[in-house]
Structures are given as C-alpha cells and as structure tokens.
Structure 1
C-alpha cells in the first residue's frame, strides 16, 4: 500500500504534481464546486480529512495535499539555513499544485503545520486565497515569543525536532510507528478519535525514507527563517486581507497557553472564530462541529 486506502476517500483521484525541480507534491482530489485546498499537520498526511471530505465535496472541488517532506510528497535534503522547508517555499509548492490543477483562486482549510503553510500562502499570494480557515494554531512568531514552561512541556516536540541533524531523525526512525502513537496519543483525547486506517497511513508515511528528516526540517525552518519572514511582515505592517476563520480545541494547548483571536487580529484585518469542544485534532475529534463552522464560512 503506497497511499491511504481508497475507502477513506471513495470517488477521489490521486495526482502527483511537479512544483519545483526535483520536488513532486502528492494530492488527492474530488468533489464539485468552488476549489478548496486542505492541508494537514504533524505527524500526519492528507488522510486526516477523511471524516469531513464527503460533506465538503458536496460543495467544493477538494484538493488534499501532502506537504513537502510529508506523506507521499518529495522529501529533499534540507539546506544549511533550512530555506527549502521554509513556509514560503512550502506555500509555493501548494500554489503551483493548485495552478497545475486549474485553480487560480481558491479557499484554504488547514490544520497545525499545514495552517502555518497556509498563513504564508495567504500572506505571499493574497490574490490566490479567497478565504482562509486555520485550525488550532496561533501565529508562529507569537507562539515562540510567548513560550512558557507549560507550553514547552506540552509542545516538547517543537524543541526536540529543531535539534541539529541527525539526532532527532535517528531517534524517530528507530520506531516511527511508536513516534506517531506517542505524539498523537498523548494529546487530550488519546488515540480513541483516530480511525485505524488513518492511523496506519500516518505510521506508514513516517516510515518512508526521508520523512523524519522532512518533518524535522519543517520545524527547523519555523524556528529560524520563518520567524525572519514573519517579523518582516510585522515590521512592514502587512496584514492578511482576506476573511480569516480561526478555530481551536477547548481541551488543547493553544487554548490553554494563548489568546488565538487576539494574536490573529494582530496579523489579519478580518478575523472571527471560537474554541470547539475537542482537543487538537479537530477534523477527527469533532468533524460535525468543524463542518458547521466552515461550510457557511466558505459559502459566503
């Protein structure tokens, strides 16, 4: 098995899109209507959307992508400054993939790491993104600047994954399935919310050659070059112009440690959102609550 089983996404088709020299992005598409790009987080793949995709596909042409470094997308070696895993470059991958599929302007729904890529995509290419919905994050710059002991203990992986190669890669590669179970299972809901087929897809993907390095490079970039890009936007007073919906889990770390609406209103002009009664993995823990929020938002 090289991709999540088709019964997670019946009727969807898979594509591989070259977005840069030597880089291919794996996507799954389906549905009908206005285009909607869905982006996953760590340590997952596009399989996380399987509980909401059928309902979304009734209103949208969905494009579910594996980020650079994750899933079945390319995993190039990181550069010394980690620039080829910057959210700017990862966003360019997604813009190129959407254009290759015929979508010049589209909506974006993104979770966790994918939401950080989506933030940069909307910041750098505001004419391409019509509406933006981000799940369970505060802006990267705010989260690093406001790190507390509580946050550092809960998001220990932020500080583990940025250690110089190859230490974290070697430890993850020793037992990738256990890493997925431990990272995801120690959140508020444990492993109970996850379909065994989706969990198996995450474990399979992390065991692929280069995935551990790719996700480490994602985090290394966020602790360095991404902060430089974010600070440059703050200094220039560049705000996201499109409507932004921010949702987060009431049982999660973001709710406990940050004020998401306050932080997003510092970087965007039109922000609304609220906490949902779930933990971090909103699309798998509370799919109907998520649909109740995003379907009217994207229909506007």
Structure 2
C-alpha cells in the first residue's frame, strides 16, 4: 500500500513507534484515528511524498507501535504523552520543524503536539474533529447518540475490553460503517490491516485507555491551556456527509483555539482520506505547499 516507503521502528522515551517514511522535501507527519492505523493514509501518502518527506506513524497503543502499561490517571495515554512520542520521532528522523495532519484521534494528538511543541509545528491540519474540550462540555443527546463509543470506552477496566474482545472484527466493522458513508471506500488490504491490529487484546485495551485519558487528564491539560492560542496556521476539514460538520461550526470551534484558521467540508463521511481521497489530497497539498 506504500510503494517506495521505508518501514521502521523508533524508540521514544515512553514507547516504540512503528512508521513508514517516503518522499523528499519539507517534513509532513500523518497521524491516524480510531480504530485504524497509519494505513488509512495509503490512498494519498504516495502523492504527498512527491512534494514532502512523509512520515506516517502508528500512535502508541495502535497498529504495530508498542502498548505501554497504563496507570490510574491514564497518563501514558494522555495526548501529551502521545504527542511527545511524535516530537521525539521527528527529532530522531532529523526534522526540527515539521507540519502535521491528524485525523480523528490523530487530530487530537496533533493539536496537543502543536501546543506543547509550538516552536516545531509550522502548520497543522485537523480532519473531522472539533476540539476535545468543546465536544465534551457541550455534550447533549444528539452527540451522545452519535458518539456513544466515547462514553462506552471510558468505562472502568475491563468492561469495554471484554465486550469488544468477544468479537473485535464485528465491532471494528460496525464502528467504521456507522461513521463512514461509503463502504466501498475501504480497500481489502487496508481492512485486513485494521482487523489484524484491532484483534490484538493489547490494542483494544490501549485504545480504551486513549479515550479514558481524553475524559480525564486530557481535559485537565486542555483547561490549563485554554488561554493559549495556536500561532501556526490551521486547516480544518470535515466530511460533509458526517456528524461533525452538521453538529459544530468547525471553523469557529478552532478559531477559539488558534489565530489563523481556514477550511471546508469535503464530500465524504468521517473517513476523508479514504472516502474522498482526491478532495482531501488537493486540500492538504494546497495548504501545506503554500508559503505563508
């Protein structure tokens, strides 16, 4: 799925990160969402690599990256810890400055990366999310119904782990079908990769910890930084057929957190890079290529 890319593993201070690199030019880090892996970028990463050095990584707890032991505060799965992994990965690869695009959970890690490492992230693209803090504090029945998994996955260990573990393939397919609007968008190769990785009990547990952290320690970090606005340019994209763009004023949500925000919807459900690869590629290529 990633012809011409090199796969490697990089050890950080808290995990071991699996990733693929390809291309040449300015560095562009791509971060995936739940319940996927870096494979979600396979339709657009080769084209991006014609202009950028693309780094497509598995977040800690997902794919073939390591699954660190957690603690009572879920700190090993805080977005701060996950973002630090990526900052250290980019240092190891020789990039002091870089751009980042994140989808879903990867967008939340990318947001924290741009806060904690503001001197290194030059541009940020977030795909189909509003800021975590805003989504939690404005929760209503419509949101809770559409994003029921946020409230299921944060239940105490090991209730969600046991329930998902009974049939992880079914859970993954139903979840992706619930969010997506084009079931034909997911290639057999990508789906096989998602099933392989999500069938690992360690991945199921780690992904629950990701969401438990989002509802606890991540909110503490977000509230402490609410007065800080991102200085880098931000591109917000969302699926026109999905929930986020219907429920939230996405641009206004991000303008509360950043000084320079632009963006628009693309003709897809939640999985932009797979359901609308051409439109997503065009938007990312234009944004990241433009001198600002």
TM-score (norm 1): 0.95
SS for the counterpart of 1:78 is coil
Match of 2:199 among 184, 194, 207: 207
**Matched residues in 2 for 1:42 and 1:188: separation?**
12
How far does the alpha carbon of each residue in 1:263-285 deviate from its partner, in whole angstroms, 9 at most, with x for none? 10001000000111111000000
Report the counterpart of residue 234 of structure 2 in structure 1: 244
Matched, 1:48 2:19: no
* Structure 1 match to 2:179: 187
User: Are the aligned partners of 2:182 and 2:269 in contact in 1 as well (CA < 8 Å)?
Assistant: no
Write the distance in 2 (CA, Å) between the matches of 1:296 and 1:190.
Answer: 25
Q: In structure 1, what is the Cα distance between the partners aligned to 2:180 and 2:78?
A: 29
Q: CA deviation at 1:188?
A: 4.3
Q: Which runs of 4 or more aligned residues in structure 1 lie more than 3 Å from their structure 2 counterparts after TM superposition?
A: none
Query: Residue 258 of structure 2: SS of its match in structure 1?
Result: coil
CA deviations 1:130-161 (Å, max 9, x no partner) are 11111000000000011121111111110000
Q: Secondary structure at 1:67's aligned position in 2?
A: coil
Alignment of 1:298 with 2:288, yes or no, is yes
Partner of 2:133: 141
SS of residue matched to 1:36: strand
The separation in 1 between residues aligned to 2:19 and 2:145, in whole angstroms, is 34
- Are 1:267 and 2:260 counterparts? no
Instruction: Map residues 212-227 of structure 1 onto 2, 5 A cutoff.
Output: 212-227=204-219
Give the alignment partner of residue 78 of structure 1, picking from 70, 78, 98.
Answer: 70
Q: 1:98 aligns with which of 90, 104, 114?
A: 90
Among 10, 13, 37, the alignment partner of 1:17 is 10
Residue 60 of structure 2 is aligned to residue 68 of structure 1? yes
Aligned residues: 290
Cα offset, 1:191, TM superposition? 2.4
2:96 matches 1:124: no
Within the candidate set 189, 193, 197, 1:197 is matched to: 189
Q: Distance in 1 between matches of 2:82 and 2:248?
A: 26
With the length of structure 2 as denominator, give the TM-score of the two structures: 0.97
Q: Is the 1:181–1:191 Cα contact (8 Å) retained in structure 2?
A: no
Supply the distance in 1 between the matched residues of 2:194 and 2:131 (Cα, whole angstroms). 25
- Structure 2 spans left out of the alignment, 5+ residues: none
Aligned residue for 2:270?
280
Question: Equivalents in 2 of 1:291, 1:114: separation in Å?
Answer: 17
The Cα shift of 1:77 comes to 2.2
2:102 match: 110
Which whole-Å CA distance do the structure 2 matches of 1:138 and 1:252 have between them?
A: 13
Q: Give, in angstroms, the shift of residue 190 of structure 1.
A: 4.7
1:185 to partner: Cα distance: 1.0
Structure 1 stretch 171-180 or stretch 186-195: which is displaced more?
186-195
The CA distance in 2 between the partners of 1:274 and 1:212, in whole Å, is: 33
Paired residues of 2:99 and 2:288 also in contact (CA < 8 A): yes
Note the C-alpha offset of 1:209: 3.8
Aligned to 2:151: 159
Q: Is the 8 A contact 1:283 1:290 kept in 2?
A: yes
